[in-house]
Amino acid sequence: MTTKYIFITGGVLSSIGKGVTAAATGRLLKARGFSVAVQKLDPYINVDPGTMSPYQHGEVFVLDDGSETDLDLGHYERFIDIRLNKVCNVTTGQVYAEVISRERRGDYLGGTIQVIPHITNEIKRRVRMVGKATGAEIVLVEVGGTVGDIESLPFLEAIRQMRFDLGRENTSYIHLTWLPHIGATGELKTKPTQHSVHELRSIGIVPDAIVTRSDYPIDAEIQEKIALFCDVDAKAVIPMVTTPILYEIPLLLEETPIADLLLESLNLKARTQPDWSEWEKIVSEVQREKPQVNVALVGKYVELHDAYISVREALQHAALANGVELNLKWLHSADLEEDQGLETLNNVDGIIVPGGFGSRGIEGKIKAATYARENSIPYFGLCLGMQVMVVEFARNVLQLNKANSAEFDRSTPAPVIDLMPEQNSVTEKGGTMRLGLYPCHLQEGTKARDAYQVEMVEERHRHRFELNNDYRAELEDAGLICSGVSPDNRLVEIAEVKNHPFMLGTQFHPEFLSRPNRPHPLFTAFIKAVSKHAGIHKDV
Ligand code: GLN
């Protein structure tokens, strides 16, 4: 079967949930028996988001193969329950880098290299690669940015041409827009949608469906108005009203004809009757009144919650599985550097320190770890959070009071966290960390092994530093358990503090593999310990 492509563009403004819409639409198609993959086309010129500040871009989502990608790939993986690979995120930077390197090699000898056809052909090649690389029957392609942006024009031209290349029955176009609400008159306005569809049509793309995001329900009159001005059937105007429950979105879309419309336009018939019972259970569990637990997330980019989106989602999944309501307190690590800042940790039931880079706020994170250790508060460290836990332990239990990570103090007399030897020769910043899936062996009789219930796991990584083996024996003698190690025993992947209800850190990022219906075992174990601290679960 030829791979079928659904292209998703956005109009009016950004941040209206294009990634989630693509993800939820993918779920609808999977529920009808199709294998699905999703690709994000990002118009910026960076080769990948790996070198961007989280303030610019939010979280960097890491895939099995180690590619550093847009956070929307996290939505795709979580909603559709799939594992994507590097062809699923393309940037302008990658496209130009490829075309320019071919030009330097002499591949186009004599030719003038132009946006059309050279850049657009390269974009199309990468779009078609998704079908081949993933074997998916239906590929959803989300074009980043908003129609009208200069940067996205080559992508739009490329996806326009794909209908010509692949045929009408193999391509479908969805345009997502926003309907603003005028408070004074209580009206939803369609004009920006009309303009945006007009702009899209002027590029040559006629949408098959228009998904309208709004904070208020839309009525038939608005649907018809959009249909009339934008030249689609009224039933192809798909309402998507804001919901506070993220995982309700596939259920809301299921109530619309979008899946039928897409399958019809792609000349496909549903193979299975969708079964939403698991999702309905998740949503009703979210709605149910539950006892609350307070968890502090101590980070450096907390102003921008998107910087920790997978961590937040993984915590939510685990809270649902434990039957508790998560009250997440976002704490700036720099604020904890002042002593009185620690007061904010007074009534938390758990502390999570996620990944990060650079020294800003690091002492605040170390203080949070001390507080957790001394007060028996569950602590979960992810990557940098694990390294912080080890530094804290070395300083205050081993009494190496100048212990540090070499990342923050190159001349520390006790570099308990040090650069991995293979990183010594690395000079380039992009894509050069230890990235992607690596195996980890779990030691029996540890919290990690109890949580996973298996001997070997594979987790996703993104780091340059590691626990320094020169200090491993000393740390272990003092009560730090290296409960997860690489199969050759060279690299400590999980550490935990002995005689503490739950103080565990991972060198990898477990948050990337958590699913709403399948929370990550370590997050589940952490929230279980948190619930016990809050006096909710007594049986742990
Ligand atoms: N900065 C640390 C390192 O490079 C931690 C990285 C992370 O948290 N992802 O090892």
pLDDT value of residue 266: 97
Pocket flag, ligand 1, residue 383 (CB < 6 Å) = yes
Alpha helices in 143-276 (DSSP H): 153-166, 191-203, 220-230, 249-254, 258-265
**What mean pLDDT is predicted for residues 172-186?**
94
Q: CA 205, CA 223: separation in Å to the nearest integer?
A: 20
CB 509, CB 461: distance < 8 Å: yes
Nearest atom of ligand 1 to the alpha carbon of 382? 8
Q: How far is CA 354 from CA 2, 315, 374, 508, in A?
A: 42, 12, 20, 10
Alpha carbon nearest to ligand 1 atom 8, residue: 355
Cα(138) to centroid(ligand 1), Å: 36
Q: What is the mean pLDDT of the chain?
A: 95
| Structural domains of the chain ordered from first start | 4-280 (3.40.50.300), 291-533 (3.40.50.880)
Cα(469) to centroid(ligand 1), Å: 17
pTM (whole model) above 0.85? yes
pLDDT value of residue 540: 45
Pocket flag, ligand 1, residue 373 (CB < 6 Å) = no
pLDDT value of residue 344: 86
Cα(507) to centroid(ligand 1), Å: 8
Q: If phi over 0 gives left and psi between -120 and 50 gives alpha, with beta otherwise, what is residue 25?
A: alpha
Nearest atom of ligand 1 to the alpha carbon of 385? 8
Point out the residues that are catalytic.
383, 509, 511
pLDDT value of residue 539: 54
Cα(475) to centroid(ligand 1), Å: 20
Nearest atom of ligand 1 to the alpha carbon of 407? 1
Evaluate if residue 490 carries a pLDDT over 60.
Answer: yes
**What mean pLDDT is predicted for residues 228-251?**
94
**What mean pLDDT is predicted for residues 104-124?**
95
Question: pLDDT-derived band of residue 471, with 50, 70 and 90 as boundaries?
Answer: very high
CB 516, CB 320: distance < 8 Å: yes
Which tens digits make up the pLDDT trace of 493-525? 999 999 999 999 999 999 999 999 999 999 999
pLDDT value of residue 538: 55
Evaluate if residue 298 carries a pLDDT over 60.
Answer: yes
Share of the chain above pLDDT 70, in %: 99
SS (H, E, C) 400-425: CCCCEECCCCCCCCCEEEEECHHHCC
